[in-house]
Amino acid sequence: MGIIKNIIHTYGPEYLARYQHSMPAIHQKVLQDIMRCKTEGSGIAVFQCEECHSTHFFNLSCGNRHCPNCQYHKTRAWLDKQMQKQLPGPHFMVTITMPGRIRDFLRANQKTAYGAMFTAAAGAMKKLAADPRHIGGDLPGFFGILHTWGRTLQYHPHIHFIVTGGAISKQDGVWHPAGNSFYLPVKPLSIIFKAKFKALMEKHQLLHLIPKEVWLQDWNVNCQAVGDSEASMKYLAPYVFRVAISDSRIIKIENHRVFFRYKKGKSNRYRVMELDAIEFIRRFLQHVLPSGFMKIRYYGFMNSACSMNLATVRDIIKSALGLLSQSILCKKKLPIMPTCPHCEGALLFRAFFPPSPVYTGLSPG
């Protein structure tokens, strides 16, 4: 049993007993799914060995995107898919962090506010990229990933964007590269993002709920070079399907308390935080995203709806960088198939048993 699953198994009923009448239904579902993960409560797959004909039963994963046990294979599959799409040239990571005074509002209006964060950030980057004083291309390509946590599980909403280092001009069809040190100036990017977010809040009639002081302060935008496409994807891959905390950071569970490691910003030294188990679960659940909300979004020529396909974009970039004689080699990884623990023969799928109706998961008592 995973450590976080063990924490929820042990203290989840107490948490439910305390908060079941006030907690969102989706939080209860996350607790139940994590409890059921890798048990008959998530269903059973039956395989038969092709060589020795032995039969094997596997309890299935819950598949919940907030379950720590289910994210590794999703990350591997996403990375393999992105490596087939990689583009030449430098890449950058732009991180946009929301100020502290607006976070209570964001937590209370998650679906609308998170969507506005994506829309405002993407609009700001497109606007600056099209400016001839910066890049001068009106078709950039980037994707963003929403995270809502900090190192100690506090509420800290921000978006990481991975950006190809330049943009295509629709007028001349030419690639306009960004500088090697930064993609776009962060000060004007911050100002435009704040203005666009404010306009969206006014459009949704939510502006009056936000403290006025928020609009008077600087908003935090950071940009850093992350190497070529392969390096940037491998750098970002652990962020893509990461949940608020992983089992590897938990040190121990003792006397109703959870101890875990964390690092402060700009420090490589590990520190230890101690939380009551109920508070640990509360902090974990505050990062559960609204049902159906897309935490990864693609823009510009990376968007599947773009009229210009990636093969054309790749050729345009390679031409601009003088790389037409070179090719990007992407080794397609074969899917990992289960093997027999007795003879290592291939296992063939035979049947699936749905979750047991008698398995109820968590209960408040």
Cα–Cα distance for residue pair 13/31, rounded to 1 Å: 10
Contact 7, 281 (CB under 8 A): yes
Q: How many CB atoms lie within 10 A of CB 25?
A: 8
pTM: 0.86
CA 293 vs CA 28, 272, 290, 304: distances in Å:
17, 32, 6, 18
Query: CB count, 10 Å around CB of 49?
Result: 20
CA distance 194 to 184: 16
pLDDT at 196: 98
Write down the pLDDT at residue 329: 42
Per-residue confidence (pLDDT) for residue 334, from 0 to 100 = 43
pLDDT at position 325 is 42
Q: Give the C-alpha separation, 276 to 14, whole Å.
A: 12
Measured CA to CA, the distance from residue 316 to residue 324 in angstroms comes to: 9
- The pLDDT, as a whole number, for residue 326 is 45
Six-digit token pair at 337? 């198939």
Write down the pLDDT at residue 323. 63
Q: Which two tokens stand for residue 142?
A: 């980037």
Specify the pLDDT at position 360.
Answer: 47
Q: What is the pLDDT of residues 148-175, one digit of tens each?
A: 999 999 999 999 999 999 999 988 899 9
186, 135, 140: which is closest to 164 by C-alpha? Answer: 140
- With a cut of 50, list the residues of the chain below it in pLDDT: 324-335, 358-360, 365
pLDDT of residue 327: 44
